[in-house]
Amino acid sequence: MVIFNNQKELKAHLKPLLDSNKTIGFVPTMGALHNGHLSLLKKSLQQNEITVTSIFVNPTQFNNPEDLEKYPRTLEEDLKKIENLNSKVIVYTPTVEDIYGKNVTSESFDYDGLEHQMEGKQRPGHFDGVGTIVKSLFEIVDPTKSYFGEKDYQQVLIVKKMVEKHKLPVQIVVCPILREKNGLAMSSRNERLSKEEREKASFIYKTLLQAKELFKVKDFSEVYHFVSQAFRSQKFLELEYFIIADSKTLLEITKKYKSKKYRAFVAVNVGKVRLIDTISLN
């Protein structure tokens, strides 16, 4: 495994590979790797000659300083997991300065309104931070394909929009959500939960599955009512939002059209840990 912590050396290493037209798959992460991340790496290894992954907790996408400070950082274990999966993966673990220099700020992005929904509303500036880091990393790595998880569905649409608007020569590959046995979506933030909280948090996916069944036969307003009532009975789980939205525009549903695809999105606080999940409804 080759590890780089500065972009100059990484670029120098990648240059001859790019010059000889090798396909490069890229998996950006914030570390504390779990099987969800590894599934993205596996896909990239299958589809490309070279795979690069980055591990970088990007400060500009955190609107909550405590969330940034407490974000799990487990670099040694992450490197072992990557090495066990495939020792040919190229790892980029930059410092904040290597990415931002002295100016740790975001660029402003226009994602045609996608940024005003859900996570954009709840976490001001989050998607400017995401756009800034993803664009920088794409410029450094110059990948053929880059892999993103459907768990962060809004992020996937945002990244696709950014790629389209900036005409970046990269194909975005979307990968399915990996879950714990109890249904809880795998997430680095799960590391901050106690065993009991992890068990309790399985309620999130169970409720999404029930919402999906209900959505088939009932009006959407009844699904909203059902979900908000269901979370009221959960004293460890505080529902921040439950939203049914158009899968393309992310605009919240106002009327159900047969021709449209919908998804449910949820954000839940378990103590001080904020979890998100999503499911397609039709």
Q: Which of 24, 30, 41, 276 binds ligand AMP (CB under 6 A)?
A: 30
Instruction: Read off φ and ψ for residue 153, nearest 5 degrees.
Output: -60, -40
Q: Which of 177, 208, 266, 275 binds ligand AMP (CB under 6 A)?
A: 177
Contact call for residue 180 and ligand AMP (CB under 6 A)? no
Contact call for residue 44 and ligand AMP (CB under 6 A)? no
Contact call for residue 50 and ligand AMP (CB under 6 A)? no
Contact call for residue 118 and ligand AMP (CB under 6 A)? no
Closest distance to ligand AMP from the beta carbon of 47 (Å): 15
> Between 7-19 and 126-141, two packed helices, what is the crossing angle to 10 degrees?
50
Cβ–Cβ under 8 Å, residues 221 and 252: no
Stretch that binds ligand AMP, among 33-41, 76-84, 88-96, 208-216 (CB under 6 A): 33-41
Contact call for residue 143 and ligand AMP (CB under 6 A)? no
Closest distance to ligand AMP from the beta carbon of 191 (Å): 11
13 is catalytic: no
Among residues 19 and 66, whose Cβ is nearest to ligand AMP? 66
Per-residue binding string, ligand AMP, 145-164, x by CB under 6 A, is ---xx-xx------------
Among residues 29 and 51, whose Cβ is nearest to ligand AMP? 29
154: nearest Cα among 132, 131, 188: 131
Stretch that binds ligand AMP, among 45-53, 107-115, 119-127, 180-188 (CB under 6 A): 180-188
Per-residue binding string, ligand AMP, 183-212, x by CB under 6 A, is --xxxx------------------------
Where along the sequence are the contacts to ligand AMP (CB under 6 A)?
Answer: 29-30, 36-37, 39-40, 148-149, 151-152, 175, 177-178, 185-188
- The residues assigned a catalytic role are 37
